[in-house]
Amino acid sequence: MQKPQAIVIGAGIAGLAVAVRLQLKGYAVRVFEANAYPGGKLTAFSQDGFRFDAGPSLFTMPQYVDELFELAGKQPRDYFNYVRKEEVCRYFWDDKTRLTASADAGQFALNVEQALGVPEAVVRRKLAKSRLMYALAGKTFLEKPLHKLSTWFTADVFRAMIRLRQLAIFSTMHNDNQHILKHKKLVQLFDRYATYNGSDPYRAPGVLNIIPHLEYGIGTFIPVNGMHDITLSIHRLAEELGVQFSFGEKVHTIHVEQGKVSGVTTDKESVFAEVVVSNMDVVPTYKKLLPSQRAPQRTLSQERSSSGLVFYWGMKASFAELGLHNIFFSEDYEKEFRDLFSSVVPSDDPTIYVNITSKDVPADAPAGCENWFVMVNVPANTGQDWDALIPAYKAVILNKLNRQLHVKLEESIMCELVLSPVDIERNTSSMGGSLYGSSSNSRFAAFLRHKNESATLKGMYFCGGSVHPGGGIPLCLLSARITASLINTP
């Protein structure tokens, strides 16, 4: 008996995961990917002896990766290995204040007290609230389809509803942090978690303060062979299960007959399928692949998340004061986010993130050298002159880092590549190069994010960072889980 056919458009991390799940459900799955490689933003490249993870650099909640192998009856460690970090991040401010944040919650509280003078009890109280938020809302808002009534008639939801005030739904992230922490630098440190889904802490709902629990309650990790190994391991599993991949083959049209999807046409062929899952950004999915179908305009017109400008630098030096993750904060955080989302212009004093995987994976750089992933948050592309902005940004970044580290970094840069919002949009079909689809700059953002299944087209589903529950590796993997759960077993 022939298996029913399922097509996945896009081999991003969510596309790979949903392909695995549907193959295990009994579908014959074929994945079409316009690029010549899997992973979407989660890819890698090498240059002059340096290896760089091209996209996401923070790894949390590895259980969602392990889960895919366990579902297939495999031992996850035979495919993919990672270690828990003892250090979360190193923070730097312009006044020379520095803070190294331990991954142990108690030690982190002591780190803060020693560096900032804030009593450790304050930090413990903040982390306890983040843990409570996750316990009350995590499984509902992150692991369930929000458009299903069955999601809301559960004991978990009842417990959350009677404690809404503790979820800070009617406050912003910043106001909730300010209320508890009060210290400007510590508030800034916790406000930065809004950037994990490309949002503005001064407008995003306070419930997003569950995010610190992912780091201090569950942990931060690093794959033994680099972030790209997440992609490679899931792709390997999918192929072993029989998923068929067509790389370098772009889908142009999703076919619809009498209110039901019937397959796709690529630049090479037309293929029938009972189920189609789009891992593309939901906006170009409608505009390019379903142009004749009625689109949910209110959903598609939401404010986009921030994008990123990344400099990949091969450095012919080693910097002992830096760790795997490093943050150099701006002086005026509120202005930085106002520039990003209101003025829609790059900030003149951006917060800088520096990721150096060779600290943990020495093979990522030649001996005595380091591979730097240097990123600043920038607005999504709306036609800005990036050719002019990129060198201006580089000058600002170098000036800030040189001042903080008392060096001349430009003398150590052996090689350089740049990734702009235009590149992100071109490489991943993410509208404007936004990293997380729509922003979460509204208390209703979770409910306005596009659902994982079509409300009008039978057999049409969606997964990935532009739909529920959002962007980032863990949420994309959860998106794949939710989407697969909505598709009937044949």
For 39-75, how does the pLDDT look when each residue is reduced to its tens digit (9 = 90+)?
A: 999 999 999 999 999 999 999 999 999 999 999 999 9
161 and 257, same domain (yes or no): no
176 and 115, same domain (yes or no): yes
Examine residue 430 and state whether it is found in any structural domain, yes or no.
no
Examine residue 268 and state whether it is found in any structural domain, yes or no.
yes
In the chain the first and final C-alpha atoms are separated, in Å, by 12
Examine residue 69 and state whether it is found in any structural domain, yes or no.
no
Domain that holds residue 10: 5-40+227-303+451-486
186 and 117, same domain (yes or no): yes
pLDDT score for 489: 87
Mean pLDDT of the residues in the chain: 92
Residue that terminates a domain, selected from 176, 199, 217: 217
pLDDT score for 151: 54
- Higher pLDDT: 273 or 137? It is 273
Examine residue 379 and state whether it is found in any structural domain, yes or no.
no
Are 134 and 474 within 8 A, CB to CB? no
163 and 140, same domain (yes or no): yes
SS (H, E, C) the chain: CCCCEEEEECCEHHHHHHHHHHHHHCCEEEEEECCCCCECCCCEEEECCEEEECCCCCEECCHHHHHHHHHCCCCHHHCCCEEECCEEEEEECCCCCEEEEECCHHHHHHHHHHHHCCCHHHHHHHHHHHHHHHHHHHHHHHHCCCCCHHHHCCHHHHHHHCCHHHHCCCCEHHHHHHHHHCCHHHHHHHHHHHHHHCCCCCCCEHHHHHHHHHHHHHCEEEECCCCHHHHHHHHHHHHHHCCEEEECCCEEEEEEECCEEEEEEECCCEEECCEEEECCCHHHHHHHHCCCCCCCHHHHCCCECCEEEEEEEEECCCCCCCCCEEEECCCCHHHHHHHHHHHCCCCCCCCEEEECHHHCCHHHCCCCCEEEEEEEEECCCCCCCHHHHHHHHHHHHHHHHHHHHCCCHHHCEEEEEEECHHHHHHHHCCHHHCCCCECCCCCCHHHHCECCECCCCECEEECCCCECCCCCHHHHHHHHHHHHHHCCCC
- pLDDT band of residue 143 (cuts 50, 70, 90) is low
110 and 211, same domain (yes or no): yes
The answer to whether residue 271 scores a pLDDT higher than 80 is yes
- Burial (CB count within 10 angstroms: exposed 0-12, middle 13-18, buried 19+), residue 445: buried
- Higher pLDDT: 234 or 151? It is 234
Contacts of 414 (CB under 8 A, 6+ apart): 48, 50, 313, 314, 315, 316, 369
Residue that terminates a domain, selected from 198, 217, 236: 217
pLDDT score for 28: 98
pLDDT score for 170: 72
Examine residue 322 and state whether it is found in any structural domain, yes or no.
no
pLDDT score for 155: 63
Smallest CA-to-CA distance from 326 within 351, 360, 291 is with 351
119 and 178, same domain (yes or no): yes
Q: For the chain, what is the domain count?
A: 2
264 and 282, same domain (yes or no): yes
Task: Pull the structure tokens for residue 234.
Answer: 């899931």
pLDDT score for 145: 64
Examine residue 455 and state whether it is found in any structural domain, yes or no.
yes
pLDDT score for 407: 96
Residue that terminates a domain, selected from 167, 198, 217: 217
CA 393/CA 350 separation, integer angstroms:
9
pLDDT score for 146: 60
125 and 188, same domain (yes or no): yes
What predicted TM-score, i.e. pTM, was given to this entire model? 0.94
240 and 213, same domain (yes or no): no
231 and 295, same domain (yes or no): yes
- Burial (CB count within 10 angstroms: exposed 0-12, middle 13-18, buried 19+), residue 2: exposed
The answer to whether residue 158 scores a pLDDT higher than 60 is no
Q: Which of 9-13, 119-123, 169-173, 363-367 has the lowest mean pLDDT?
A: 169-173
The answer to whether residue 78 scores a pLDDT higher than 60 is yes
319 backbone dihedrals φ, ψ, rounded to 5°: -125, 100
Mean pLDDT calculated for residue range 120-131: 95
How do residues 169-217 score in pLDDT, each as one tens digit? 678 999 999 999 999 999 999 999 999 999 999 999 888 899 999 999 9
Alpha carbon 262 to its chain centroid, in Å, reads 31
Examine residue 239 and state whether it is found in any structural domain, yes or no.
yes
Examine residue 277 and state whether it is found in any structural domain, yes or no.
yes
- pLDDT band of residue 290 (cuts 50, 70, 90) is very high
How do residues 333-382 score in pLDDT, each as one tens digit? 999 999 999 888 878 999 999 999 999 999 999 999 999 999 999 999 99
267 and 206, same domain (yes or no): no
Are 132 and 166 within 8 A, CB to CB? yes
The answer to whether residue 149 scores a pLDDT higher than 60 is no
How do residues 428-481 score in pLDDT, each as one tens digit? 999 999 999 888 888 766 567 889 999 999 999 999 999 989 889 999 999 999
110 and 28, same domain (yes or no): no
Mean pLDDT calculated for residue range 271-287: 96
Which CATH number fits the domain that encloses residue 9? Answer: 3.50.50.60
The answer to whether residue 31 scores a pLDDT higher than 90 is yes
pLDDT score for 153: 56
